[in-house]
Structure 1
Amino acid sequence: MRAFRKSTHLSRQLLATSGLRYSSTAAQTTKSLTSVLIANRGEIALRVGRTAAEYGIRTTTLYTDPDARSQHAVSSPYAINLGDPSAYLDGDRIIQIAKEQGCQGIHPGYGFIDLNPVEREPSLRKKMYRSRADLHRPTMAGNRVYGKQEELTRDSESKDIMTKAGVPCIPGYHGTEQDPEYLKTEAAKIGYPVLLKAVKGGGGKGMRIVNTEHEFFDQLASAKSEARNSFGDEVMLVEKYITTPRHIEVQVFADKHGNCVALGERDCSIQRRHQKILEESPAPHLKEDIRQDIWEKARQAALAVGYEGAGTVEFIFDNDTGEFFFMEMNTRLQVEHPVTEMVTGEDLVRWQLIVAEGGRLPLTQEQIEQRIAERGHAIEARIYAENPDMNFIPDSGLLLHLRTPTPTPTVRIDSGFIAGDEVSSHYDPMISKLIVQGPTRDAAIQKLKSALEEYEVAGPITNIEFIKRMCVSSDFVAGDVETGYIQKHHAELFTPQPPAPEVYAQAALGLGLQEISSAHGNPFSGPPVTAIGFGSGTNFQQRDFNLVGTPADGKGEPTTTLVTLRQTAPAQFDITVSGKTYENVTSTFSPTTNTLTSFFPHTRLNTTFICYSDRLTLFQSGRQYRLQLAMPEWTKKALGVKEMKNSVLAPMPCKVLRVEVHEGEEVKMGQALVVIESMKMETVIRSPVDGVVKRVVHGKGDLCKAGTELVEFEEKEEL
């Protein structure tokens, strides 16, 4: 039984009378859309819903069990629970729900149905097309020839059609023969280096660069394995690999009346793991004649197949020669479409609605070019929950604190989360998209940097600090970009930036004021911190804190800094950080904003201070700092923490809140094993040694007596 949810407030908003979505050049030829199902989640579901609401279109959204409390689940008047986390990929069921809800169309957003290897087959497209269900509904001819959407033979066909249409294609093999020896022979004909790419791939998976024939078979096996596990299909194509490539794509739109326009290009060259991080428009240092040519080739690509709707024609641009080659066409709006919206001033979801209703495109090519000339430069940064220092591995968890830049006409945030939401491990870890616009590229970069300094996320690790470093990377500022930029500039982008002494001082002040506030019955928000060794707030005189800055990449020894905090008067302290003393520092904390304001002898500091268990997150002077509060030895003894060779025990009667490890996992000394709760206080139990987890004895929700075994492990022999 599907759960059914209704939001009366948004229902009234959606049913309110709105302005026309048609310009004078967009005469309506079919019945207007009044109801749409949004077959996606997160920020794109919210973004599509906003445009629909503006034009009085009723929306139905979908959510799964992990997304039951998500923003998109409560954003529209009707929301249907799909249940299983993977149900967003069930195209047949989504079409059935759309019919049951009386929806005239389905907006797929991006990803899921578009990228699902099962639902790429023509059957789903035909079902959606015949029922007028797919709002971006590209024509069947267009969908037939773009090989990424269907079978391998169609990919070869698409290249042939593009070549006949005058669109340059990168040299490569796109045939059906998949014998490894045959593929190696084709690679030799093309010339190394070559790119191996899964035909049904996406998101950078199933791709390998082969530099010499000696590594061909190993890389092929690796690419096939990844493709098979990710897409259920290991068919590969082989293409010439451009050694200094840029990823440049063109946003095209076509209607049923034969009109087709290019809404400018986007440079998406800053990538990790073949996935985009920064996108911008116009592309820097692109000669005007090449820009006009690449726009025209994109239009030719769409016209060659009778395309209709929103599409993105992707090209590989060779920095060395200035040549560009057709790569593929994505038959949908892309994640980065707001960049184009910023430089044209147009709502592309509105354009999709117009085309779906049979209208003409709102602007001509000449009008679009005039808009782009007037509106300067736009850049989008994808804000991900991920750890750049550990090869950008995804992170997840509760958003303990979230503060975004102030939106303006030139600063836009497309987000799917608010503070208190959880970034799920089931889905893509993108938290939001930050898009800025400026009169020039330099102005846009400066605006992006300033906006990022206002962006605060506590909980999961994010890539915000990394993007800040990108904004000051000299070659990026100069516009000298390529898809291998991050690897090429690794030393510059990943240089450690240790906290200043004032950061440690503010951390100690925050902890001290927290204790004093708690003693007077006004605790800070969030669970009280343990393992500090503080006594009663009425006796507060001097406290020592050992604050640890753990290397994000897990390499090297954690750095521990001793901070001594001595109260000399109400709200006044002397603070010593590694031997350096700041005298007569006055400090106050605002719980409503989590802001710690301190007056040091030489400056005033405003710091956002977030404390959760033994982890501290501080935002100060435009940077984020993550610290850990070390447990003093005498406090360990007071808590009764026992270190046995093969076990970690509960130090007190407690309830297990979370288990942070799994059986068979290798752990390091100090790594979190279990989070327990006792007397409404949380304590993180950490591993006393390096070892391998043999058994997790107690799970989430279990009640344990003091001395109960929590985790059993075997010490590594090399210790």
Structure 2
Amino acid sequence: MLFHTVLIANRGEIALRIIRTLRRLGIRSVAVHSDADAGAPHAREADTAVRLPGGYLDIEAVVAAAAATGAQAVHPGYGFLAENTAFARRCAEAGLVFVGPPAEAVEAMGDKIRAKATVSAAGVPVVPGAAEPDDDLLTADIGFPALIKPSAGGGGKGMVLVRSAAELPDALESARRTAAAAFGDATLLVERFVEDPRHIEIQVLADAHGNVIHLGERECSLQRRHQKIVEEAPSPLLDEETRARMGAAAVEAARSVGYVGAGTVEFIVQGSTADYYFMEMNTRLQVEHPVTELVTGLDLVELQLRVAAGEPLPLTQDDVRLHGHAVEARVYAEDPARGFLPTGGRILALHEPGVPGPGRPAADGTVRVDSGLAAGAVVGSDYDPMLSKVIAWGHDRPSALRTLDRALAGTTVLGVTTNIAFLRALLAHPEVAAGDLDTGLVERRLGELVPPAGTPDDVLAAAALLLQHELVPAAPADPWDVPDGWRPGAGAAWTVWRLEGPGGVTAVGVRGLPAAGSGAAEVRLPSGDGDGTAGADRVLRADLTVDGTDVLVTLDGVRRRYAVARDGDTVWLGREGSTWALTRHHLGDPGDRAGAGAAGDGVVRSPMPGTVLVVKTAVGERVAEGQPLVIVEAMKMEHTVTAPVGGTVAELPVRAGQAVDMDAVLAVVRREEEP
């Protein structure tokens, strides 16, 4: 029999996704939450929610919550305790069913070094490498380029690519520090880096009765910072013969450790030859599992629950059929233009197209959204920056890509900078459309995928018109009350709005006030040379219509719709997946915008909200340009902040362990020539 109550030891979109399957099966759901997540959607959606004072990694608190709520089983989701051997064993000791593989399998595959040895003995090909403690990684004869990995890690955290022996010592130091912080184990291994590799993984299922099958592959080659951002099933690379061989190898890898449950065997593939090597096995549900569900019509969480309850798999390998194509894009709170640094903020407005999964596609063009977002929620630096997943299914790959692009264009998240516009550019890239993928594609083509700095004219105009519109009373009793600058014998005056956006501060003039609801006006925008003089400016006809929470702006005959939200003096505008935040400054002359807000040459600011991990300098120390000063960590991602100029450290207002906001001052370096 299936369980009557299951506790979900996770948060966000995966917790909500598991709750949906539990509800469909008539199983009571128990959520847990940290203090930061007290009002989170997963805590509200579950039948019961329990506070975890110590957060999601507190094993004893999770077990106590299960006991207090009468839960029979614990589903760990992914991340947090999902691959924690001690947690799996503690559940067993408490009489709880761990919805995952046996602790011994988690232990065997959780250690990358041991996993490689185990599957190699089973005949699965592996990448050449060296591993601690047996090998000295500084002197191992691996060759370069090489990839450093935490032995106990996953999700790309702590992975560092080194291309020469000179880079190795610092890279090992950084990887060891990240591994210890993220996984509690600083053990590392180094592997030969396969040039232009493709990342292809096989979904496996195994029950306690000796049955092991695979559900085909997922291609996960589109990555940034060694973390996946777009995944699809099936892979455009594999033919039926290669798929069968890789599937058989994955099944053998699972059998070699007595695996039970859902798991993923990951391979690195040399794209030009389709030669493949075992990389690791993830002993849990994967973030990208929805694409497999859409092409197979199976609910992987339901299968996990049935296997955990002791039932045999309800299908054999011959029953597995792949239908159509599915592609998933991960929406992150990050800024691709700043090296994918995490962002944060309060969600002011939200629109997500599609239907929450799982389920078999109803028709060509099906869109599924797995999300943990809610309007008003705060996105901070406590957890991974992934916000949601948008998944599309089509009868073939081009259809699925088109559907996903339309879905992303219809996704609006205002208040937090996201990667949605970048994802749309990536999906439209000719190499991606052709299926010519590898894990270095994003880094190689980043300049083509990130929009140029600055704010489009239409967005500047929309923000200025909206601000101008807000000056108008809803129904002015007297026309003299309309503040448009009109006076007898003269037309309306220009109102100048100084708006700070990604490209700096721009002066936008508006003449003619949009009345309540809608109206016409003129907009004056700087010319391309940006000198701000009246003669160089362009004057365009504009119309504004306010439509609920959206505005429609016609500029020079082109009409566009924008989602709009306000946060104090900042106006957020969203259009077709892109967002812009424009902050209102005091009214002033267009000519004083140049250079506004620029920091001094020696001021070093935090590139993201996070925590100071390491301070590598001291006040009075002489530093060279480019020398590391401070390491900031957010969401398990490290960023080294360097000296912008050579000189002496004059100020250092931060310490290790201190939380900092984006753009907080970390240090001030006085130039050598300064007194």
Matched residue, 1:269: 221
1:161 aligns with 2:118: yes
- Give distance in 1, aligned partners of 2:449 and 2:559: 29
1:101 aligns with 2:59: no
Matched residue, 1:425: 381
1:630 CA drift (Å): 3.0
Gaps of 5+ in 1: 1-30, 149-154, 522-534, 552-557, 636-644, 646-658, 667-690, 697-710
Provide closer, same or farther for how the CA distance between residues 223 and 599 of structure 1 changes in structure 2, counting only shifts above 3 A: closer
SS at match of 1:324: strand
1:630 aligns with 2:582: no
> Which of 26, 42, 59 pairs up with 2:12?
42
> Which of 536, 552, 561 pairs up with 1:606?
561
Q: Is the 8 A contact 2:345 2:415 kept in 1?
A: yes
Q: Is the 8 A contact 1:253 1:262 kept in 2?
A: yes
Structure with greater proportional helix content: 1
1:487 CA drift (Å): 1.3
Q: Is the 8 A contact 1:550 1:628 kept in 2?
A: no
Matched residue, 1:396: 344
Matched residue, 1:278: 230
Matched residue, 1:378: 326
Please show how residues 578-657 of structure 1 align to structure 2 within 5 Å.
Answer: 578=526, 579-583=537-541, 585-590=542-547, 592=548, 594-600=549-555, 602-620=557-575, 623-633=578-588
1:472 CA drift (Å): 1.4
Q: Is the 8 A contact 1:256 1:358 kept in 2?
A: yes
Please show how residues 285-296 of structure 1 align to structure 2 within 5 Å.
Answer: 285-296=237-248
Q: Is the 8 A contact 1:513 1:589 kept in 2?
A: no
1:183 CA drift (Å): 2.6
> Which of 408, 423, 432 pairs up with 1:476?
432
Amino acid at match of 1:485: L
Q: Is the 8 A contact 2:551 2:561 kept in 1?
A: yes
1:75 aligns with 2:75: no
1:325 aligns with 2:277: yes
Q: Is the 8 A contact 2:326 2:400 kept in 1?
A: yes
Encode CA deviations 1:213-252: one digit per residue, 9 max, x unaligned. Answer: 3433333233223323443432211222111111111111
1:110 aligns with 2:110: no
Provide closer, same or farther for how the CA distance between residues 37 and 481 of structure 1 changes in structure 2, counting only shifts above 3 A: same
Q: Is the 8 A contact 2:88 2:102 kept in 1?
A: no
Matched residue, 1:564: 510
SS at match of 1:228: helix
Encode CA deviations 1:42-74: one digit per residue, 9 max, x unaligned. Answer: 111111111111111111110111111111111
- Give distance in 2, aligned partners of 1:595 and 1:544: 23
Superposition RMSD in Å: 3.3
Provide closer, same or farther for how the CA distance between residues 383 and 546 of structure 1 changes in structure 2, counting only shifts above 3 A: same
Encode CA deviations 1:448-501: one digit per residue, 9 max, x unaligned. Answer: 111111111111110111101101111111111111111111221234165443
1:37 CA drift (Å): 0.7
1:144 CA drift (Å): 4.0
- Give distance in 1, aligned partners of 2:444 and 2:618: 33
Please show how residues 188-267 of structure 1 align to structure 2 within 5 Å.
Answer: 188=141, 190-267=142-219
Amino acid at match of 1:145: A
> Which of 105, 121, 139 pairs up with 2:102?
139
1:88 CA drift (Å): 0.5
Amino acid at match of 1:95: V
Q: Is the 8 A contact 1:508 1:565 kept in 2?
A: no
- Give distance in 2, aligned partners of 1:692 and 1:460: 33
Matched residue, 2:266: 314
Encode CA deviations 1:429-457: one digit per residue, 9 max, x unaligned. Answer: 22111011111111111111111111111
- Give distance in 2, aligned partners of 1:539 and 1:262: 69
Encode CA deviations 1:255-289: one digit per residue, 9 max, x unaligned. Answer: 11222111111111111111111111111122322
Matched residue, 2:36: 66
Q: Is the 8 A contact 2:417 2:579 kept in 1?
A: no
Provide closer, same or farther for how the CA distance between residues 352 and 599 of structure 1 changes in structure 2, counting only shifts above 3 A: same
Matched residue, 1:127: 90
Matched residue, 1:704: none
Encode CA deviations 1:336-389: one digit per residue, 9 max, x unaligned. Answer: 1111111111111111111111112222222212xx1xx211111111111111
Provide closer, same or farther for how the CA distance between residues 156 and 431 of structure 1 changes in structure 2, counting only shifts above 3 A: closer
> Which of 510, 523, 538 pairs up with 2:466?
510
Encode CA deviations 1:113-153: one digit per residue, 9 max, x unaligned. Answer: 025xxxx3x443223235552442313442342142xxxxx
Amino acid at match of 1:429: P
Provide closer, same or farther for how the CA distance between residues 466 and 629 of structure 1 changes in structure 2, counting only shifts above 3 A: same
Provide closer, same or farther for how the CA distance between residues 396 and 134 of structure 1 changes in structure 2, counting only shifts above 3 A: farther
- Give distance in 1, aligned partners of 2:651 and 2:11: 36
SS at match of 1:183: coil
Q: Which moved more, 1:264-273 or 1:508-517?
A: 508-517
Q: Is the 8 A contact 1:66 1:424 kept in 2?
A: no
Give the share of equivalent positions with the same residue, in percent: 38
- Give distance in 1, aligned partners of 2:506 and 2:74: 55
> Which of 54, 57, 69 pairs up with 2:24?
54
Q: Is the 8 A contact 1:198 1:234 kept in 2?
A: yes
Amino acid at match of 2:300: L
Gaps of 5+ in 2: 356-360, 486-491, 527-536, 591-599, 601-608, 620-648, 655-664
Matched residue, 1:436: 392
- After TM superposition, the score normalised by the length of structure 1 is 0.75
1:506 CA drift (Å): 1.8
Encode CA deviations 1:533-566: one digit per residue, 9 max, x unaligned. Answer: xx96455654222233324xxxxxx252433232
Q: Is the 8 A contact 2:496 2:507 kept in 1?
A: no
Amino acid at match of 2:68: E
SS at match of 1:169: coil
1:511 CA drift (Å): 1.1
SS at match of 1:292: helix
Provide closer, same or farther for how the CA distance between residues 314 and 437 of structure 1 changes in structure 2, counting only shifts above 3 A: same
SS at match of 1:276: strand
Q: Is the 8 A contact 1:135 1:352 kept in 2?
A: no
SS at match of 1:184: coil
Provide closer, same or farther for how the CA distance between residues 210 and 59 of structure 1 changes in structure 2, counting only shifts above 3 A: same
